[in-house]
Structure 1
């Protein structure tokens, strides 16, 4: 209570200018001892938590707009305007769901976080709606948009708002609506994507004529970013179907289609920062899922020819190099681990039988729990296989150890990287569901599988039976 009183009183101090704001918070079950604040992907400051896991930060010469606060791998947005004095409280185990704001500026931010959570629920409905005929689907999402606009207007009549808040809140609704239209051909269960596109009403994508694909204001805005990705996917699909083999079923993983996405991103967006982010996303997304490594150099070359982001280019080149070192049949690379007794060892020394190597992070808490339940099931069914589970976080041993014990998971065969950043790069750990299967001779059998895949146990049996 004293913290809140001090927090809310600070605005009445000796500030002679009005262009300032305060942001503070309390983190329950913190994953680290700091919070990072950024704006438009530029880090402003890293603030250390006090002994009560709280922090307070003052913005001088505030640039009003959306800011990000980052803690332990989780990130969320906050809207700050002059004289705001905002405090939040959250539990890392339910990062978004537990987030509540108090103080000056709380109403607009609670509205925005509640809308964010509501969108997550509605997205599941939209995926079901996508099985409807186009005109019925359009009616459903039009109704959802109307409901959101009514809710926003009710909020604006109840509370005094600002033009900046109005702009962002309206954009949230619009871009989410547009994204719902862009995903329709992909989520619809029909395999003939060309027929689905032809069945759409002629006006279905008319809004594209009014979109600014180079709006730097929304560059780091989640709804805008998602919309750009979905739109690129969709325009590339339309282009791809015009020149692809008519007898071949559409595959999102095809090299041709992914080259089309890079080409569309390059031509659709002129703003270098926005374009480079799109190109990086599509390149990494393809590389992380691609099963045909001979296609990696093709995507890399095309990406490098279009991007102007030197940092991004370096990261993608290094990622491809790591994938090359992890080709099936290659010897598993040397990686240093630490067990929960703080004993250091090389991962290769643990491999003398068919081995499954999987990963987890506190950031993906649901994946952590579900993957451990699945691994326990697999351990019972396949006692001849070793299952090595590695925490990739860089928070020290105590946090993941506590998480494992709290969920009643045994520490046997559980490890953490000695050098997380280098090891994550060496093993190209993306996505988090990535699992590597190695035979008894330390040769890689599968370099990117998934324990939840329907054919994983078949793959496992193949590794067991290798001579």
Structure 2
């Protein structure tokens, strides 16, 4: 027997490896065309990673992904999102019109069957019993109806000739977790929708949660499991918040406590804290912002994430009280072009909203009372719509005879007022002083104590 020295052995291994057939590297692409786009930005989210791409001059794009297993990808444009299922080697082509995002979404190319099924499921959900109607049912009827709706949705795969065994298994597991989240929300939703403050579910209702593990990271590939994680944290945070002894304590602190109490896996805890800081920083009370960011940085995040958040915070610092308010130039519902300079000498209370935003609409009656309270005084009430089209904005303002100055911001979620004021959610209210400087870039709502603040500012002038 001839023995090879180490280098000879390595040479033979390398030769055999080179001669052996290697796994073929496949290209996985999502491309497409956006008809009547809102800005030129499209986004993809894979787990905790966010990818941004831009449309070309023909409103088309092509984005390549390096994946080795099937993944769910969140595609976003113009403030709307949809979920895609992408397998290695797929060459997916999508078309959509943001004005009718879900209704216009179609796919072609490799991977189209599965994603056309997913798009159809969104529309099917609108035609089935709504979640709102489910939540109004008595407990026993709710559970039966939920099972029935889920069975219909899963059975719909046959109509699209879906024969991918892995996708079918994936969809069934994701559906299971979706039902779990729906069950978790039932008690509070039923109580709220029917105005039943004393309503409670049966003693054994939550037994379905006993065997569930919020720290099972192997299940994070299912979006509905991630929703289960989020729902578990929100429920824990809400319990602490509503039981608080000090009314001045903010919800954000209880949310961080809930993450620490429930999540034991360091990587998952860091991911959740990163998303909380990234998505909600503007809502943190100023006095706890540094504390929450420091808590996240203590979890050893990736340096690139630290740089990203530090840059975001630097941008937010431009919106601190006393700094000049970012200007805008928008057309009013009366056809006039207005900028911040047109309001100099007055306090300016800005409402950033959209007709599709329920919480925005809920503030309208309070805004009307606020306008009546300060009628004839040096306060300008300016409402800026971020609708994707001006048509629903004009219709609602005119039909409801909404008071104040109404402006339309082209670009929806990419409009300048959204990007300049780093708005992460609406409604957003902004208070500007008589000289055009920021008083509060995240001011109280009309339903809150903004009236008293305006009164004090007018008296101090």
**Same fold judged by TM-score > 0.5?**
yes
Match of 1:433 in 2: 427
What does 1:93-112 correspond to in 2, within 5 Å?
93-102=99-108, 104-112=110-118
Alignment counterpart, residue 442 of structure 2, candidates 416, 436, 448: 448
1:352 equivalenced with 2:345 (yes/no): yes
Q: What does residue 130 of structure 2 align with?
A: 122
CA contact (8 A) 1:276 1:309 kept: no
Matched ranges for 1:151-166 at <5 A? 151-153=153-155, 155-156=157-158, 159-166=161-168
The answer as to 2:20 corresponding to 1:30 is no
Larger Rg: 2
Q: Counterpart of 2:76 in 1: which secondary structure?
A: strand
Kept after mapping to 1: 8 A contact 2:102/2:123:
yes
Q: Is 1:331 the equivalent of 2:328?
A: no
1:64-463 matches, cutoff 5 A: 64-81=70-87, 84=90, 86-102=92-108, 104-117=110-123, 122-129=130-137, 136-137=138-139, 139-153=141-155, 155-156=157-158, 159-184=161-186, 186-187=188-189, 189=191, 200-202=202-204, 204-207=206-209, 209-211=211-213, 213-215=215-217, 218=220, 222-236=223-237, 248=245, 253-254=250-251, 257-264=254-261, 267-270=262-265, 272=267, 274-283=268-277, 287-290=281-284, 293-306=286-299, 308-313=301-306, 330-337=321-328, 347=340, 350-359=343-352, 366-367=356-357, 382=375, 384-388=378-382, 403-404=389-390, 427-440=421-434, 447-449=441-443, 453=447, 463=457
Instruction: Tell me if the contact between 1:326 and 1:444 (Cα under 8 Å) persists in the aligned partners.
Output: yes
Q: 1:340-385: CA deviations, max 9, x gaps?
A: 7xxxx9957853212123446xxx67349x77x9699799864643
The worse-fitting range, judged by mean Cα deviation, of 141-150 and 375-384 is 375-384
SS in 2 for 1:448: coil
Q: Is the 8 A contact 2:34 2:60 kept in 1?
A: yes
2:102 is paired with a residue whose SS is coil
Q: CA deviation at 1:123?
A: 3.3
- Conserved? CA contact 2:26–2:89, under 8 Å: yes
Shift of 1:386: 2.8
Separation in 1, partners of 2:433, 2:39: 36
Give the Cα–Cα distance (whole angstroms) in 2 for the partners of residues 379 and 255 of structure 1.
Answer: 28
SS of the aligned residue for 2:349 comes to strand
- CA displacement at 1:138 relative to structure 2: 5.9
Please give the alpha-carbon distance, in whole angstroms, between the structure 1 residues aligned to 2:270 and 2:447. 32
Q: Is the 8 A contact 1:357 1:436 kept in 2?
A: yes
CA distance in 2: counterparts of 1:32 and 1:70, whole angstroms:
12
- Gap regions ≥5 residues in structure 2: 1-22, 332-337, 399-404
Residues 96 and 309 of structure 1, relative CA distance in 2, 3 Å threshold: farther
Distance in 1 between the 2:249 and 2:180 partners? Answer: 21
Q: Indicate the SS of the match to 2:228.
A: helix
Q: TM-score, normalised by structure 1?
A: 0.66
Aligned residue for 1:153, secondary structure, equals helix
CA distance in 2, matches of 1:66, 1:48: 22
Distance 1:276 1:89 in 2: 35
C-alpha deviation, 1:268, in angstroms: 1.9
What are structure 1's unaligned runs of at least 5 residues? 1-15, 130-135, 393-399
Please give the alpha-carbon distance, in whole angstroms, between the structure 2 residues aligned to 1:296 and 1:184.
Answer: 33
Equivalent residue pairs, number: 414
The alignment partner of 2:442 has SS state of strand
Cα deviation, 1:93-123, whole Å, max 9, x if unaligned, reads: 2222432334554342233233345557733
CA contact (8 A) 2:75 2:83 kept: yes
8 Å CA contact retained: 2:30, 2:92: yes
Query: What is the match of residue 11 of structure 1?
Result: none
User: What secondary structure is seen at the aligned counterpart in 1 of 2:206?
Assistant: coil
Measured in 2, the distance between the counterparts of 1:38 and 1:293 equals: 29
